[in-house]
Amino acid sequence: MKIIKTALMAYGDSRKFFHAPFLSICDGFELIGAYERSSKNIQKDFENTVSFDSLEELLSSDAELIVINTPVHTHFELSKKALEAGKHVLVEKSFTSNLAEAIELDALAKKLDLKLCVYQNRRYDSDFKTVQKNTSRKYFRRNCRRRNKI
């Protein structure tokens, strides 16, 4: 199995619960580092990782996949830069600030033959499953289409 070298765009509050722990134990991924402007925590928490001092350093690294785990207003710009650097991209929800940005990133990824994926960690929560079940009902779909002119 090919091992995907992966780097995080940030190593902030979610570091203890989401991406880094998963990547460090999941077969098929190698966590190589994170972009950290000030505190250098990833090297303390995970062996054989690098704390990148700049975005340019991260994008020129041998990472094949970049996880965009920054505030939503930065997702478009950082995802675009990662794609343009030849990296596959996994973006936390919300994907982008608007539909036009999402369409542009999708087109760029396709043009460059790169993977672009949205990380949705809440899809199995009970509230999401309830909404999913209810929106699949015929009555709900018909009324939504009528109101939204779909």
Q: Are 41 and 86 within one domain?
A: yes
Where residue 55 sits, what CATH number does that domain have?
A: 3.40.50.720
pTM of the model: 0.78
User: What's the alpha-carbon Rg for the chain, to the nearest Å?
Assistant: 18
138-148 and 126-135 are packed helices; what angle lies between their axes, rounded to 10 degrees? 80
% of the chain exceeding 70 in pLDDT: 82
Mark whether 132 and 115 lie in a shared domain: no
The residue with greater pLDDT, 112 or 19, is 112
DSSP state of 123: T
Which distant-in-sequence residues (6+ apart) come within 8 Å of 92 by Cβ?
Answer: 67, 68, 69, 70, 75, 118, 119
Q: Are strands 50-52 and 116-119 parallel, antiparallel or unpaired?
A: unpaired
Check whether residue 29 and residue 75 sit in a common domain.
Answer: yes
Residues 92 and 143 occupy one common structural domain: no
- Range name among 90-99, 102-111, 141-150 with the lowest pLDDT average: 141-150
User: Which residue range(s) make up the domain with 135?
Assistant: 125-150
Amino acid at 56: E
pLDDT digits (tens, 9 = 90+) for 42-61: 888 888 999 999 999 999 99
**Structure confidence at residue 127 (pLDDT):** 67
Q: Which residues contact 100 (CB under 8 A, 6 or more apart)?
A: none
* Separation between Cα atoms, residue 47 and residue 15, nearest integer Å: 15
- Please check whether residues 48 and 73 belong to one and the same domain: yes
Using CA atoms, how far residue 51 sits from 1, 22, 29, 88, 138, in Å, is 26, 18, 18, 20, 51
131 shares a domain with 104 = no
Domains: count for the chain: 2
- In the chain, what is the straight-line distance between the N-terminal and C-terminal CA atoms, in Å? 44
The DSSP H or E segment spanning 58 is helix 55-59
